[in-house]
Structure 1
Amino acid sequence: MKIAVVVGNPKPASRTLRVAESLAGVIEKLVPGEQTEYQVIDLAEHSSRLFEWPEPTLAALNDAVAASDVLVVASPTYKATYTGLLKAFLDRYPSNGLAGVVAVPVMTGAAADHAMATEVNLRPLLVELGATVPSRGLYLVMNRIAELDQITADWGQANAATLVPAITGRLEAPRD
Structure 2
Amino acid sequence: MSNITIISGSPSDQTRLNGVLAEVVRHLEKVNISPEIIHVRNLPAQDLIQAKFDSEEIVKANKKVEDSSIIIILTPVYKACFTGVLKTYLDLLPQNGLEGKTILPIAMGGTFGHLLMIDYALKPVLSALGATHILKGTYILDNQIKKLENNQYEIDEAAKNRLETSVDFLKKSLSPEKVLEH
Query: Do Structure 1 and Structure 2 share a fold, with TM-score over 0.5?
Result: yes
* In structure 1, distance between residues paired with 2:76 and 2:121: 12
4+ runs deviating over 6 angstroms: none
**Cα distance in structure 1, aligned partners of 2:175 and 2:162:** 21
Structure 1 residues 70 and 25, CA, compared in 2 at 3 Å: closer, same or farther?
farther
What is the TM-score when the length of structure 1 is the normalising length?
Answer: 0.79
Provide structure 2 residue ranges, at least 5 long, that are not aligned to the other structure: 147-153
Give the structure 2 partner of residue 166 of structure 1.
173
User: Do the aligned residues in 1 keep the contact of 2:105 with 2:135 (CA within 8 Å)?
Assistant: no
Aligned mates of 1:47, 1:83 — CA distance in 2: 16
Structure 1 stretches of 5 or more lacking a match? none
Check conservation: 1:77, 1:109, Cα contact below 8 A.
yes
Give the 3-state SS of the residue equivalent to 2:103 in structure 1: strand
Q: Structure 2-normalised TM-score?
A: 0.77
Higher helix share: 1
Distance 1:133 1:23, change over 3 A: farther
After superposing the two structures, state which structure 1 stretch, 89-98 or 149-158, moved more: 149-158
Alpha-carbon distance between aligned partners in 2 of 1:102 and 1:159, rounded to the nearest angstrom = 12
Question: What's the offset of the Cα at 1:160?
Answer: 4.3
Match of 1:55 in 2: 55
Structure-2 separation of matches of 1:66 and 1:13: 28
1:51 to partner: Cα distance: 2.6
Number of aligned residue pairs: give it.
167
Q: Is the alpha carbon distance of 1:64 and 1:18 closer, same or farther for their aligned partners in structure 2, counting shifts above 3 Å? A: same
SS for the counterpart of 2:93 is coil
Moved more, 116-125 or 126-135: 126-135
Taking the aligned partners of 1:170 and 1:137, their CA distance within structure 2 comes to 25
SS of 2:126 mapped into structure 1: helix
Corresponding residue number in structure 1 for 2:93: 93
Percent identity for Structure 1 against Structure 2: 26
| Alignment match, 2:161 | 153
Aligned to 2:149: none
SS at structure 1 position matched to 2:60: helix
CA contact (8 A) 1:71 1:103 kept: yes
Aligned to 2:40: 43
**What residue identity is the alignment partner of 1:141?**
L
Query: C-alpha deviations, 1:102-158, integer Å up to 9, x for none?
Result: 111111111111011112211222222123445311111101114626323334336
